[in-house]
Structure 1
């Protein structure tokens, strides 16, 4: 069953890369043969856990050695406006004896204990390499536990050896579609209900754009999965429109919800002033097409005009200080293209962008925003080359994840975290103002002049 699921995900019809292939190549899929160590930095289990753990009122149990839970717990700085159960780590802590005798009984006891002690809205059980290799039937245990305990127990069959972190993201979405979405029928469905897929509420970013939706009378029925509650995800099939933020992770879920429930979707972003405005316009337009009052379009334009004016007024003092500064953007997914325009809007120049975790559509958007210059796009930049870029002055700062920060810092170059480990929210209009403020604080910090100056003992020798 897992092999069939993986093959289905690797031939996703909504993927622009697969659409461009001929029938024979499309049938082969896009999977790559795994190599030892190839999943370092994120395996399928890790991807599934990252995608689903932001559901805040669920007990997330890892069926495997304790190291799997230790390496995957809290890997994203995601926030909650209510329950904090998702912040607890649950694991069956499989030992050598469990590998010999099997871990199914231990898993059932773990589910029962979590249910009795914490009264979660549901229990999610994550299969890992060890449980899968010894043949533990997680789905059967979950089914039996659900019947006996009277609450949803959801199997997440994404062992690490199945593939990459991104594949795990998609397997997590498959678990939601197969076992959660559509299991609760809401009695309050409205004409302006939407879902947002691929939003994880990093640094509480939903608080930066959800009030905009509220002011337009648009209800966010479910964020999948940032700051979500189980019943919200279970009833999200009643929404009228889906917005996909991270298409590489959850485009399959969006496509299947469209086919089964008739919910149209579009890909958008809340990073940058223009992209935030475009997202609000697209949501309003699709809702009107689906039966909402046409006045929603006028309200959206009025809100956009007011918020853009406020944001530009706050950004104006920074533009002269940042104009012409060159930035290397080393991230992926939606940020590989949306942040480009956000930086260009304040007069900065993006000298390169990584598209290593981006879809073909993401690449096309990034290329267009970089003036059509393919040399500015890279799947990965070797550390020596990146170091030379900074030492030769080809980039004035870098925006990236935490893993590559030390290359910039070694080259005495300003760096800002743009990935999930960051501690500042950059979504929406206010988030763009905060991003500009943080860039200014970093790039114009006098410490860089000091660390680049010759050391006193070198001057004495001269």
Structure 2
């Protein structure tokens, strides 16, 4: 069953690359052949946990050795406006005897104990490599626990060895679609309810654009999954529009919700002033198409004009200091193209962008914003080449994730974290102002002049 599900996810009809393939090529899927080390940087289990753990009020129980619970989620700065249960680690802590005798009974007892102690609205159970290899039937245990304990217990069958972190994101979406979405019928369905897919509320970024939606009378039914509650996700099939922020991870979920519930979706971004405005226009346009008061379009344009004017006024003092500065953008997904636009809007030059974790659509958008220069796009840049770029002065700073920061710092080049571990929200208009401020603080910091100067003992 898992093998069939993976094959289905790897031939996603909502992906432009797959639809352009021949029937034979499409059957082969888009995943790379698994070799030792293929999951380095994040396995499927890790991807599933990252995608689902921002649901803040449920128990996230890992069925595996205790080391699997110490995954990269712990370093992701996703905020909650209420419950903090998602920050507790739950694991069955499988040991050698469990491998010999099986861990299903231990898993059921762990589920029962977690429910008794914390009374969550649901429990998510994550299968890992060890449980899968010894044949523990997580789905059967979850079904039995749901029937006996009266609390939804959701199996997330994404053992690490099946593939990459991105595949785990998609398997997490499958778990939501099969076991959660549509299981609650709310009594407050509204004509302007929307969902946002692929938003993880890093540094509270939801609060940078949720108020904009509220001013337009648009309600965010569910953010999947940043700062989410189980009941909201379970009722999100009643929304009128889906916006997909990270299409590589959850485009399959968006497509299936369109097919089953008739919810149209579009791919957009809240990074950068222009992209934020375009996203608001797209949401309003789809809602109007679905019968909402046409004055929503006019009110949206008025809000955009107001917010853009305020944002540009706050950014103006920084533009002269940043104009012409060259940036290497080493990230992926939606940020591979949306941040390009954000930087260009303040007069900075993007000398390169990584598209390793981007979809074909993401790549096309990045290429268009870089003037069609293919040489500026890279799946990956070797550390030696990256260091050479900084040493030769071809880039004045780098925006990336934490793993590549040391290359820039070794080359005495400013660096800013743009990935999930950061401590500043960069979404919507206020977020763009915050990003520009952080770039200015970093790139114009006097420390760089000092560390680049010859050491006193070298001047003699």
**Which TM-score applies when normalising by structure 1?**
0.99
Counterpart-to-counterpart distance in 2, 1:152 and 1:74:
25
Counterpart-to-counterpart distance in 1, 2:359 and 2:121:
34
Matching of residue 88 in structure 1 with residue 88 in structure 2? yes
Counterpart-to-counterpart distance in 1, 2:43 and 2:228:
24
Counterpart-to-counterpart distance in 2, 1:381 and 1:207:
34
User: RMSD value over aligned CA atoms?
Assistant: 0.6
Paired position in structure 2 for 1:134:
134
Counterpart-to-counterpart distance in 2, 1:89 and 1:286:
40
Counterpart-to-counterpart distance in 2, 1:74 and 1:177:
25
TM-superposed deviation, 1:71: 2.3
Write out per-residue CA displacement over residues 195-218 of structure 1, whole angstroms, 9 at most, x where no aligned residue.
Answer: 000000001100100000000000
Paired position in structure 2 for 1:371:
371
Question: Contact between 1:104 and 1:141, CA under 8 Å: does it hold in 2?
Answer: yes
SS of residue in 1 equivalent to 2:74: coil
Question: Contact between 1:271 and 1:432, CA under 8 Å: does it hold in 2?
Answer: yes
SS of residue in 1 equivalent to 2:285: helix
Question: Contact between 1:158 and 1:168, CA under 8 Å: does it hold in 2?
Answer: yes
Paired position in structure 2 for 1:327:
327
| 1:26-425 correspondence to structure 2 within 5 Å | 26-425=26-425
Counterpart-to-counterpart distance in 1, 2:75 and 2:199:
15
Counterpart-to-counterpart distance in 2, 1:133 and 1:432:
46
Unaligned runs of 5+ in 1: none
- Farther-moved stretch of structure 1 (69-78 vs 152-161): 69-78
Counterpart-to-counterpart distance in 2, 1:73 and 1:254:
24
Write out per-residue CA displacement over residues 117-145 of structure 1, whole angstroms, 9 at most, x where no aligned residue.
Answer: 00111000000000000000000000011
Write out per-residue CA displacement over residues 11-36 of structure 1, whole angstroms, 9 at most, x where no aligned residue.
Answer: 00000110111111111111222111
Counterpart-to-counterpart distance in 1, 2:338 and 2:72:
27
Counterpart-to-counterpart distance in 2, 1:340 and 1:333:
12
Counterpart-to-counterpart distance in 2, 1:142 and 1:253:
22
Write out per-residue CA displacement over residues 13-71 of structure 1, whole angstroms, 9 at most, x where no aligned residue.
Answer: 00011011111111111122211122121000000000000000010000000000012
Counterpart-to-counterpart distance in 2, 1:160 and 1:40:
10
Cα 1:92/1:72, change in 2 over 3 Å: farther
- Farther-moved stretch of structure 1 (437-446 vs 36-45): 36-45
Counterpart-to-counterpart distance in 1, 2:93 and 2:362:
39
Counterpart-to-counterpart distance in 1, 2:326 and 2:31:
36
Question: Contact between 1:370 and 1:376, CA under 8 Å: does it hold in 2?
Answer: yes
TM-superposed deviation, 1:72: 4.0
Write out per-residue CA displacement over residues 176-235 of structure 1, whole angstroms, 9 at most, x where no aligned residue.
Answer: 000000000111111100000000000110010000000000000000000000000000
Counterpart-to-counterpart distance in 2, 1:134 and 1:440:
53
**Which TM-score applies when normalising by structure 2?**
1.00
TM-superposed deviation, 1:104: 0.3
Counterpart-to-counterpart distance in 2, 1:262 and 1:343:
36
Question: Contact between 1:50 and 1:75, CA under 8 Å: does it hold in 2?
Answer: no
Counterpart-to-counterpart distance in 2, 1:416 and 1:386:
15
SS of residue in 1 equivalent to 2:366: helix
Counterpart-to-counterpart distance in 1, 2:181 and 2:139:
17
Paired position in structure 1 for 2:436:
436
Write out per-residue CA displacement over residues 148-192 of structure 1, whole angstroms, 9 at most, x where no aligned residue.
Answer: 110100000000001000000000000000000000011111110
Counterpart-to-counterpart distance in 1, 2:29 and 2:387:
36
SS of residue in 2 equivalent to 1:266: strand
Counterpart-to-counterpart distance in 2, 1:182 and 1:19:
28
Question: Contact between 1:126 and 1:157, CA under 8 Å: does it hold in 2?
Answer: yes
Write out per-residue CA displacement over residues 87-137 of structure 1, whole angstroms, 9 at most, x where no aligned residue.
Answer: 000000000000000000000010001000001110000000000000000
Counterpart-to-counterpart distance in 1, 2:26 and 2:33:
17
TM-superposed deviation, 1:73: 4.1
Question: Contact between 1:73 and 1:89, CA under 8 Å: does it hold in 2?
Answer: no
Counterpart-to-counterpart distance in 1, 2:272 and 2:72:
30
- Farther-moved stretch of structure 1 (67-76 vs 216-225): 67-76
Counterpart-to-counterpart distance in 2, 1:31 and 1:199:
24
- Farther-moved stretch of structure 1 (427-436 vs 36-45): 36-45
Counterpart-to-counterpart distance in 1, 2:271 and 2:30:
29
TM-superposed deviation, 1:389: 0.4
Counterpart-to-counterpart distance in 2, 1:89 and 1:209:
30
Counterpart-to-counterpart distance in 2, 1:446 and 1:272:
27
Unaligned runs of 5+ in 2: none
TM-superposed deviation, 1:76: 1.6
Paired position in structure 2 for 1:447:
447
State the 4+ residue runs in structure 1 displaced beyond 6 angstroms: none
Counterpart-to-counterpart distance in 1, 2:73 and 2:308:
38
TM-superposed deviation, 1:75: 3.7
Question: Contact between 1:326 and 1:348, CA under 8 Å: does it hold in 2?
Answer: yes
Count of residues in correspondence between the two structures: 460
SS of residue in 2 equivalent to 1:195: strand
Question: Contact between 1:400 and 1:419, CA under 8 Å: does it hold in 2?
Answer: yes
